[in-house]
Amino acid sequence: MPTGSEDAFTGVKPVEERHRFDEAALEGWLRANLDGFEGPLSVSQFKGGQSNPTYRLDTPARAYVLRRKPFGPLLPSAHAVDREFTVISGLHRAGFPVARPYALCTDPEVIGAIFYVMSAVEGRVFWDGALPDSSPAERRALYQAEIATLAQLHQLDPAAIGLGDYGKPGNYFSRQVDRWTRQYRASETDPIPAMNRLMDWLPETTPVQSRVSVVHGDYRLDNIMMHPSEPRVAAVLDWELSTLGDPLADFSYLLMNWVMPADGRSGLAGIDLPALGIPTLGEAVAQYCRLTDRDGLPELDWFFSYNLFRLAAILQGIAGRVRDGTASSAQAIQMASRAPLLAEAAWSFAIKAGAEA
């Protein structure tokens, strides 16, 4: 059973008043648009997540998951649940582990926002990267499954699975730095000097892109549903930030776990990885490179700086939604307060990568 802070993110709860919608209207839409749907319908809300409110839909025969855009004003390009539906549809057809997509509703009049419905995948979500309840052998197998699944995603040909136009052409990192700069400025509350320095330095130093793949955009342990009893991935969750881009963005984001302090969440720095059975950073890199036919990776400091900058911008977006009254969980204010610390950490990696202090 989840304990402590994990309990705040695990499982479901009654639908919050501010996230309620017309359940009868939803049930009518489901009857008309989902083959085999039969009520009565019971709706609950997942606890985790800061982005698109997510609900569990239970019926006597089966369970579904619904993700919708938040109600209220939103930043441009944010919360594109229609894009989520597109990407999981292509990946599901290719045999990649995602939930089965059932239907997309682009009419906001039905429940107040556009939404999509997919299968409810049963399994385990791990919130503590140290995996305290697992054996060393299982920890190793779970991390290897996480890395292998990301490598599988990056080896898929986007055009061959119907996703050839899922992203824009051009250098992915340049586009992303520009995107998160704009979103940060749109959400800015109190100035963060390190973010200003990063917004000047990152565009001038972006690496050359050599490969294009589907990138998840937020690939980490708690966005993965593991099989109920086996160390393998049952489904990768939360595709809101996915696009076509540089696969090293995804992999270097995953590697951030190895340099972030162990804090009961995804961070692993400071703990005895070999004793726990968890691959070291070098072992993780070696496995990924082997599975994606790479000789090695470039210096990672720039990538770590970029990823922390991006995280700071995302958390600042949450701060903006707190300001606007549209943040979707009780943990939003606490998360938003971490943006300045992440920006400072990003600048420290930028200095390691050659930026002038």
Give the per-residue SS3 of 169-217: CCCHHHHHHHHHHHHHHHHCCCCCHHHHHHHHHHHHCCCCCCCCEEECC
By C-alpha distance, which of 347, 278, 285 is closest to 129?
278
- Predicted confidence at residue 226, as pLDDT, reads 98
45 part of a folded domain: yes
* Per-residue burial over 219-233, b = 16 or more CB atoms within 10 Å of its CB, e = otherwise: bbbbbbbbbeeebbb
Instruction: Provide the number of structural domains found in the chain.
Output: 1
Q: Give dist(CA 239, CA 51) in Å, integer.
A: 11
pLDDT at 139 over 70: yes
pLDDT tens by residue, 161-189: 999 999 987 899 999 999 999 999 998 88
Q: Is residue 288 part of a domain?
A: no
62 within some domain: yes
What pLDDT, in 10s, does the model give residues 246-257? Answer: 999 999 999 999
Q: Cα–Cα distance between 342 and 307 in angstroms, integer?
A: 10
Residue 213 predicted with pLDDT over 80: yes
Mean pLDDT over each residue of the chain, to the nearest integer? 91
* Cβ(67)–Cβ(103) below 8 Å: no
| Cα–Cα distance measured from residue 225 to residue 233, given in angstroms and rounded to the nearest whole number | 6
The reply to whether 149 falls in a domain is no
**Integer CA distances (angstroms), 314 to 9, 69, 78, 229, 339, in order:** 18, 16, 10, 33, 8
Please tell me the chain's helix, strand, coil percentages from 3-state DSSP, rounded to the nearest 5: 45, 10, 45
> What is the average pLDDT across 127-143?
97
**If DSSP codes are grouped into helix, strand and coil, which group holds residue 309?**
helix
Least confident of 33-42, 63-72, 288-297, 340-349: 63-72
The span from the CA of 213 to the CA of 48, in Å, is: 28
Range of the domain at 50: 4-119
Residues 6+ apart with CB under 8 A from 187: 75, 313, 316, 317, 319, 320, 321, 323
> Residue 42 domain-assigned?
yes
What does DSSP assign to residue 222?
G
* pLDDT(200) > 70: yes
State the DSSP code for 97: S
- Of 194, 182, 217, 207, the residue nearest 76 (C-alpha): 182
Report if residue 166 sits inside a domain. Answer: no
Residue 55, strand partner residues: 45, 66
Instruction: State whether residue 317 is helix, strand or coil.
Output: helix
Look up the CATH number of the domain holding residue 97.
3.30.200.20
Residue pointed to by tokens 């160390």 = 231
The verdict on residue 26 lying in a domain is yes
Within the chain, what is the greatest distance between any pair of CA atoms? 63
For position 1, what pLDDT does the model report? 38
The verdict on pTM exceeding 0.85 is yes
Would residue 107 count as lying in a domain? yes
